[in-house]
Structure 1
Amino acid sequence: MRSLPSRDAAAKMSEYFGIEFTYEQVRAARKRYKIPNGQSGYNLDQIRGYYPPKSAAALRRRDKGLFKKGFRPHNTWPVGTVRADGEGYIEKKVQDISKVAHRVNWKRLSVIVWEKHHGPVPVGYDIVYLDGNRRHCSIENLALVEREIKPYMSRAGLYYSDPDLTRVGITLAKVKAKRYQKEGKEKNEKSKNRSASDSAKCEGGNRQNPGRLLSSCGGSSFSACRRSQPLH
């Protein structure tokens, strides 16, 4: 039955079992259970996972269409190409290494210009465009700023088309960042001092009367008081 076409197999099965089998039923069953009909392109050995070795001529024909070592597609950008990326920044291809991240082969032109005049960009710093034009990469239009002040400039709208105003905006953002950092440190110190004062009050004032611990220690400091002065 394996070597018969599905139509002949349906007729034989109907005659043998006394039940009518259609061509579509046999064909669907063979496809579902991967039963060859003698006309398909695979055999039982291939179904079981065994593939006979190919001849040397067949291997040569197969390898003829594969990419050779060092092959580069025809649309590969050559080294030195300058183009705009999806965000509008101008980038330049500085090397051609296959199977690496995009940033390895490409570098923003603003960074290249800055490094040519001032050396490598330090860690934690970025290059900004003073006139807001990402395609204007002359050294006069570039400035080095700390990465942490860029959010302050964006939120306050301190990027201008006038380079002088943008320089002023950079100075204001630095002052604002320093002020926020100072206020954050002062707030943390006050919180620590308040927690220490509450803990000292709970330890000293309620040692004689533990039942008043909850009423004299407010809210968030109660758990700290319980750790420092257990109730008996």
Structure 2
Amino acid sequence: MPKKIYTKEMIDYLKEITPGRFTEEVTEMFNQKFNMQLTENKIKSLRSNYKIRSGIPASLRGVKANQGKRIFSDEQERFIRKNVQGKSNKDLAELINHTFGLQITIAQIKGWKANHKLSSGLTGYFERGHVPINKGTKGMFNVGGNKTSFKKGQPARNHKPVGTERIDRDGYVIVKVQDDGPWHKRWRPKHKLEWEKVHGKIPPGFVLIFLDGNKQNITMENLKLVTQAQNLQLNRKQWRSEISEATLAGVNLTQIQAKVTKHKKGPTPVPASVSQNKK
């Protein structure tokens, strides 16, 4: 705020009350005297402008500042120092919260101990001669012996028998066909299995499509064998539909388009040198 709003009486009073007092107390006294609502920062700025010093050593100002940041009372600090030995940060935090009704976190108690150079004395290591609870058993966490361990030949709890069907993440129905081998040999798409029962193996370069787009409608009427090039054209031209007849018409269009393209290209020309050699 501009200096001109402060009267000589105000400045003289500020000079009188500042020595030996913290800014908080000076601000309260000044506001009460002149019926104002200045902040501590305003009082600091005013004192700085008029070079008014409190004379309080920096060490005492630091103590005052830290008192406002304390998370524990003197009684609570004495309690912590008495009970810190042999307790983890988690156990100590729970004990403090239970005793004083606080909500201190593990991070807070850890930081407080570090700032006050306190240690629990715990090293985190087992003492010499300590017997592990899983001694004599297989597995690091196999506590209590091998009574529940898997035996050789025992099926897993989530084992699925051959013939089990499920829906994969792409929406296809897949069937378990065998127990051994890699995943893609143990599980196969059901629509391919059903097609191969009637028509045999799917030739290389061909794929099966669902005419109505429903991957779970596995009937011979809904399955159509097309080339990979036709499948690509169906996707590019957006000739697929939920109506089977419409998708089938799209397949026919791809066949017509392929014949037209082939006709436009015509027969492959024979180089003149090859033609003369034949003569």
Output the TM-score relative to the length of structure 1.
0.50
Q: 1:120 aligns with which of 179, 201, 225?
A: 201
Hey, what's the Cα distance between the residues in 2 that align with 1:79 and 1:69? 20
For 1:189-228, what aligned pairs fall within 5 Å after superposition? none
Any unmatched runs of 5+ in structure 1?
A: 1-5, 9-21, 187-232
Q: Give 1:75 shift.
A: 3.2
Q: 2:190 aligns with which of 86, 99, 109?
A: 109
Hey, what's the Cα distance between the residues in 1 that align with 2:218 and 2:165? 12
Hey, what's the Cα distance between the residues in 1 that align with 2:189 and 2:211? 16
Any unmatched runs of 5+ in structure 2?
A: 1-83, 87-111, 267-279
% same residue: 28
1:42 paired to 2:134: no
Hey, what's the Cα distance between the residues in 2 that align with 1:74 and 1:156? 48
**CA offset digits 1:95-120 (Å, max 9, x no partner):** 1237x32x222111110111001111
Change in 2 beyond 3 A, CA 1:161/1:64: same
1:77 paired to 2:160: yes
Change in 2 beyond 3 A, CA 1:84/1:63: same
For 1:132-171, what aligned pairs fall within 5 Å after superposition? 132-171=213-252
Hey, what's the Cα distance between the residues in 1 that align with 2:253 and 2:261? 12
CA contact (8 A) 1:79 1:94 kept: yes
Q: Give 1:158 shift.
A: 1.3
Change in 2 beyond 3 A, CA 1:179/1:63: farther
Aligned to 2:180: 97
Is the partner of 1:126 in helix, strand or coil?
Answer: strand
Change in 2 beyond 3 A, CA 1:68/1:150: same
Hey, what's the Cα distance between the residues in 2 that align with 1:176 and 1:26? 83
Hey, what's the Cα distance between the residues in 2 that align with 1:140 and 1:110? 12
Hey, what's the Cα distance between the residues in 1 that align with 2:164 and 2:242? 28
CA contact (8 A) 1:90 1:110 kept: yes
Change in 2 beyond 3 A, CA 1:127/1:104: same
Q: Give 1:140 shift.
A: 1.9
Change in 2 beyond 3 A, CA 1:177/1:62: farther
Question: Which amino acid is the alignment partner of residue 42 of structure 1?
Answer: F
**CA offset digits 1:170-203 (Å, max 9, x no partner):** 13224445767899x99xxxxxxxxxxxxxxxxx
Change in 2 beyond 3 A, CA 1:7/1:114: closer
Larger Rg: 2
Greater mean alpha carbon deviation, residues 105-114 or residues 81-90: 81-90
Question: Which amino acid is the alignment partner of residue 150 of structure 2?
Answer: F
CA RMSD of aligned residues (A): 4.0
Aligned to 1:88: 171
Q: Number of aligned pairs?
A: 152
Structure number with higher relative contact order (C-alpha < 8 Å, ≥ 6 residues apart): 1
Hey, what's the Cα distance between the residues in 1 that align with 2:248 and 2:190? 21
Question: Which amino acid is the alignment partner of residue 69 of structure 1?
Answer: K
Q: Give 1:55 shift.
A: 6.3
Aligned to 1:227: none
Q: More helix by proportion, 1 or 2?
A: 1
Hey, what's the Cα distance between the residues in 2 that align with 1:181 and 1:69? 62
Hey, what's the Cα distance between the residues in 1 that align with 2:151 and 2:260? 60
